Amino acid sequence: MTRSRIISPLTADANRPEWVPELEGGTLLEKRRCARDKWDDIRMRLMREPRGHAEMYGAILVQETELTRSGEADIGVLFCHNEGYSPMCGHASIALGRLLVDTHDLSIFPRRNGLVKDLSTGLVTLRLHAPCGIVQLSVPVKPDGHSDPTRPVSFIGVPSFPTERNLVVEIPADKVWPSLKAAGRSAVTLDIVYAGAFYALVSASELGFPAGLRGATTLTELNHATAALKALLSSRTELFVHPTEADLNFLLGIIVREVTAQQRETGICFFAEQQIDRSPCGSGVMARMALGMAQGRLRLGETCEYDSVVSILHGEPGHGFRGTAVEEREEGVIVKVEGRAFYTGASSFVVEEHNALPNGFVVGLPA
């Protein structure tokens, strides 16, 4: 019989198997650095093939953080993807809201018994400490106390604000992608917004695709264009400076937008190593709402609907996300995001002792 390591629901603190490390650091961002610098092999084992895939996304629960100790949060989380660790993920937060309400395993969620159901609304409020700050979730529950999949989960995110509006980015001649060249252009105008992470927001037509996301544009062409644009933007570090946390000073993704109706738009988010968000991107909804407020297109209290290419192609009306600007503060716009997440299964992953590729692999041509 060979020895193997079985990876079950992954947490960073209590009741860990011997081989699962304790993340060092007094703050969540310090624990994030520890995960990235010392224990990234665990992320790779789960996110990469053959256990995961190039579009895999994950959440590592952290039971103790500086904000759980102070009573400001109920549990912490680190988000991970194909490249590393992101500071915010709205859809993962929505999914975690349901999971954390449904679990009664105190080794996973020590503060579970502190959650209280509001009898008048049928909602349970949960405070999630993400690397960007507190994400306050409202999770609908059924009379039996289980989360209700027929009603959307909502969250209130961190203050969101544009940092650059109508930024003109010159594309070097050797980096111009075919569609932009065909349009006779060598520059792109876009906006940069912080919404728990930094995003560049750009229209499909601005990238040289006049038919938009619903036209003849292929994902390969969009991938090429956004990869080139992200590489250029990421080198301009002065564009991505968080007011207080240097760990958040980077561009997470590019959201390609297409307005489809009044107060409704479709978007596709390319993030990390050109990973494609299947959802409308919860933090991206925050970014687009904050930009709309700054531009004067949206007013406080207005609600907009956001689709991804998945919800447009395979869903029904209302299967995207809804965003509402609920408060305007000096530090930014507070946005409420509503969406749904569903259980698909429960898994255990095995790493056998003599596996030549224990950390998984990424498919590609040799350099």
First to last CA, the chain: 38
- Calpha distance 35→58 (Å, rounded): 13
Give the closest residue to 39 by CA, choosing from 23, 51, 26: 23
Given the residues 34, 89, 269, 281, the one annotated as active site: 89
Phi-psi category of 94—alpha, beta or left, where left has phi over 0 and alpha has psi -120 to 50? alpha
Closest CA to 271 of 130, 91, 102: 91
- Report whether 49 contacts 363 (CB < 8 A): yes
Query: Strand 75-80 to strand 123-130: parallel, antiparallel, or no bridges (unpaired)?
Result: parallel
The Cα 234–Cα 231 span in angstroms is: 5
d(CA 202, CA 364): 28
Cis peptide before 159 (omega within 30 of 0): no
Strands (E), 160-217: 161-170, 187-194, 198-203
Burial of 164 (0-12, 13-18, 19+ CB in 10 A): middle
Q: From CA 26, how far away is CA 108, in angstroms rounded? A: 19
Residue 195 · residue 133 · CB < 8 Å: no
Within 8 A by CB and 6+ apart from 201, the residues are: 190, 191, 192, 193, 254, 255, 257, 287, 288, 291
Is 80 known to be catalytic? no
Half-sphere exposure of 219 (CA within 13 A, CB side): 11
Which amino acids are annotated catalytic? 89
